Structure 1
Amino acid sequence: MDREQEEIQFLGFLGIFKEAFSVTSSHRKIFSQITLTIILPLSLIYLAQIEISEILFGQIIRSEYDLDHTDQMETQKYSKTSDVLSSELLAFWLFKIAYFIFALVFSLLSTSAVVYTIACIYTAKEVTYKKVMKVVPKVWKRLMVTFLWNFIIVFASIIVLLLVAALWAVTLGTSVVGITVGIIVLLVYVSGILYIGFMWHLAGIISVLEDVYGIQALFKSKDLIKGNTGLCAAIFIINKLCFIGIYLGFRASVVGGESVLGKISHACLWSLLLSMLIHFALVIQTIIYLICKSYHRESIDKLSLADHLEVYSGDYVPLNFKDVQLEYSKV
């Protein structure tokens, strides 16, 4: 990453993608290692859960159908079918919980690894895969706190939406005015969720590169986005559209596929594409962070940032008063 901060702030929409490709290609070895060991497993976990969820859900639908068409007078058969359905529902939700935990862990690890690596490149620090893996667990804890605050905000927004929807159903209903108000409320909600989405992604970068995390990182992210909201939104939406495209392509060629060999080959293809998408999304988010910092005239002191990164790796030991006094006496 040879650009100075003054140059970074002038990167446009296409310039951001070009810079992301340039950073990746010039340090392809370490990014390939990170992608294969952290990002690819995340992609496999996400895509595998689509296929497994489809299988489990199909079993639940069949069991519900059998239960609906079983005479309750046939006590033994009805009870057995009901038990099977309960077991399938339990298995489905346990699987979803396990998926959420593993996906969250690998997602935060991916963010930690990529952002830390780019920061090292930006400060001209030597970075190796071994060093990144040593740092990642420490950065992961900060990201977890930020994620929990983001989760609380999203959950609260869903509760508010449900309350508004209930109020709308009671007061306005399906009248012309009611439908109009409902569409407006839905558009506002979707816009808010998108805003929270790219605010959270930038907050993740802040949590790694600065001394703030959690709710403070989200507030700082909100301030940094000002002035570049359109750019952030455009890139965020493109990323989501690519993600949706991979999801739909996987469902069509793997979940809906018939040939086992075809399903395996397509699954490998979509996993690689998703891994590339996640990698470039993280690199682009870090570049956007630098752009937003430059836009608000918040200089990034490379020396201070380098010291901040050394704290993660355990190589940085600040001088205490005795050290300074000793050096002074030697002079």
Structure 2
Amino acid sequence: MDLPPEELQFLTTTDILKESISIPKHSPKTFYLITLTLIFPLSFAILAHSLFTAPLLAQIQQYPHGSHSNQWTKLLFFQFAYLIFLFAFSLLSTAAVVFTAASLYTAKPVSFAATLAAIPSVFKRLFITFLWVILSMVTYNLVFLLFLVLLLIAVDTDNALLFVFAMIVLFFMFLVVHVYITALWHLSSVVSVLEPVYGIAAMRKSFELLKGRTRMAGVLVFGYLVICGAINAVFSTVVVHGGGYYSVFSRIVVGGFLVGVLVIVNLVGLLVQSVFYYVCKSYHNQGIDKSALYDHLGGYLGEYVPLKSSIQMENLDV
């Protein structure tokens, strides 16, 4: 992030990862506390929730014709609580990392206390943006289900080769859209923190920023999803369902190691989306006024913000 803004557009995927990994070194204490209080609980919950749901599902599957109202009640309640916890800590972690990284970028004094003070204001903006993203995800999932139903009706299921080919094409299209919307979500989250827009306006802004950098965003998001999927698969195989093959000690060690790896992956992922924002801005020749961004970040802390400050050298009135 010490590069001139106009040179950030030339960063490759590897360069973005290197820059992201180097950011915590500028304020190790702050990022250590953010990781410990926000990213670690998030990562632990992502992996550990299957430890609680697996026994309930096993009971239901073992006696499929029995009465499982109690198990279903526990399962639904736990899943609801888990989703609330997951979304809350995901937004909190995003707010903390993006705000802290931007503060370092503008040479603003960084501390864990300042980050905590800024989170309430940032969280509201991120939450509104998140609701619009959820609406988009629900829409494209409904469209996918509609196409799946039409496929089952239109394609001759007796022709196995044609049916498998059609399913592969459909799921490939679904994966591409899913990766794109995920990239849009991550970039919109950064925009919501660093610019005076949020919600659908932040999504429109992110849509424009992604032009020309969609392939790079896809590689970063797909790589993140694959790594997280591999971690979850190993955790499920060894820790959750490996009781008959692995000792308790081995499962604890592997589980602890995987949680640690996921913590690092999530932290780097949040830093990557911050750096990627600056890369996109540079690619579109949208200069960032660091003094204006400094004032914008100070607004979250109740500091004085000049009335005519602008985060970039263009009109951002929306």
Question: Which of 79, 95, 112 is residue 78 of structure 2 equivalent to?
Answer: 95
Structure whose alpha-carbon radius of gyration is higher: 1
The answer as to 2:247 corresponding to 1:279 is: no
| Equivalent of residue 209 in structure 1, options 190, 194, 201 | 194
Matched positions, count: 303
Flag structure 1 segments of 5+ consecutive residues without an equivalent.
68-80, 321-331
The offset of 1:61, in angstroms, is: 1.2
> Aligned residue for 2:314?
none
Partner residue, 2:91: 108
Return the alpha-carbon distance in structure 1 between the equivalents of residues 132 and 69 of structure 2.
Answer: 33
**Superposition deviation, residue 138 in structure 1:** 1.3
Distance 1:13 1:319 in 2: 37
2:236 is matched with which residue: 223, 245, 251? 251
- Distance apart, 1:303 and its partner CA: 1.0
Shift of 1:182: 3.7
User: Which structure features the higher share of helix residues?
Assistant: 1
CA contact (8 A) 1:134 1:313 kept: yes
Show the counterpart of 1:63. 63
Aligned twin of 1:76? none
Kindly state the Cα deviation for residue 179 of structure 1 after the two structures are TM-superposed. Answer: 4.7
Query: Residue in 2 aligned with 1:128?
Result: 111
Match of 2:214 among 229, 240, 244: 229
How far off its partner does 1:286 sit?
0.6
Corresponding residue of 1:12: 12
Question: Take 2:28 and 2:63, find their aligned partners in 1: how far apart are those partners?
Answer: 50
Instruction: Tell me how far 1:264 sits from its aligned partner.
Output: 2.3
Q: Is 290-299 or 210-219 further displaced after alignment?
A: 210-219
Rounded to whole Å, the distance in 2 between the matches of 1:263 and 1:179 is 38
Q: 2:166, 2:39 → 1: CA distance?
A: 42
Is the counterpart of residue 168 in structure 1 residue 151 in structure 2?
yes
AA at the equivalent of 1:4: P
Paired residues of 1:173 and 1:179 also in contact (CA < 8 A): no
Residue of structure 2 equivalent to 1:70: none
Q: Distance in 2 between matches of 1:251 and 1:142?
A: 35
**TM-score normalised by length of structure 1:** 0.87
CA distance in 1, matches of 2:145, 2:12: 39
Match of 2:122 in 1: 139
Provide the rounded CA distance (Å) in 1 between the counterparts of 2:307 and 2:137: 43
Aligned to 1:268: 256
Instruction: State the SS of the aligned residue for 1:308.
Output: helix
Equivalent residue letter for 2:82: Y
SS of residue in 1 equivalent to 2:46 = helix
Residue 281 of structure 1 aligns with an amino acid whose one-letter code is G
Structure 2 Cα separation of the partners of residues 29 and 189 of structure 1: 41
Change (3 A) 1:297 1:55: same
Q: Which residue pairs with 2:294 in the alignment? A: 306
Given residue 211 of structure 1, which amino acid in structure 2 is its aligned partner?
P
Question: How far 1:319 moved relative to its partner?
Answer: 6.8
Q: Superposition RMSD on alpha carbons, in Å?
A: 1.7
Q: Tell me, yes or no, if the aligned pair for 2:98 and 2:271 is still in contact at 8 Å.
A: yes
TM-score calculated relative to the size of structure 2: 0.90
Segments of structure 2 that go 5 or more residues without pairing to the other structure are: 309-318
Paired residues for 1:26-65 under 5 Å: 26-64=26-64
What secondary structure sits across from 2:109 in the alignment?
A: coil
1:2 CA displacement: 2.3
Displacement of 1:173: 3.5
Residue 262 of structure 2 aligns with an amino acid whose one-letter code is: L
Question: In the alignment, is the contact (CA less than 8 A) between 2:295 and 2:305 conserved in 1?
Answer: no
Tell me, in whole angstroms, the C-alpha distance in 2 between the residues paired with 1:142 and 1:207: 6
Does structure 1 residue 290 correspond to structure 2 residue 290?
no
What percentage of aligned pairs have identical amino acids? Answer: 38
Letter in 1 for 2:100: T
User: In terms of mean alpha carbon deviation, does 11-20 or 176-185 score higher?
Assistant: 176-185
1:314/1:299 CA distance change after superposition, 3 Å: same
- 1:317 and 1:211, CA in 2 relative to 1: closer, same or farther beyond 3 A? closer
| CA apart distance, 1:90 | 1.4
Q: Are positions 1:187 and 2:175 aligned together? A: no
153, 157, 160: which one pairs with 2:136? 153
User: Greater CA deviation, 110-119 or 251-260?
Assistant: 251-260
Q: Deviations over 1:192-239 (max 9, x none)?
A: 111111111111111111111111111211111111111111111111
Q: Distance in 2 between matches of 1:199 and 1:317?
A: 29
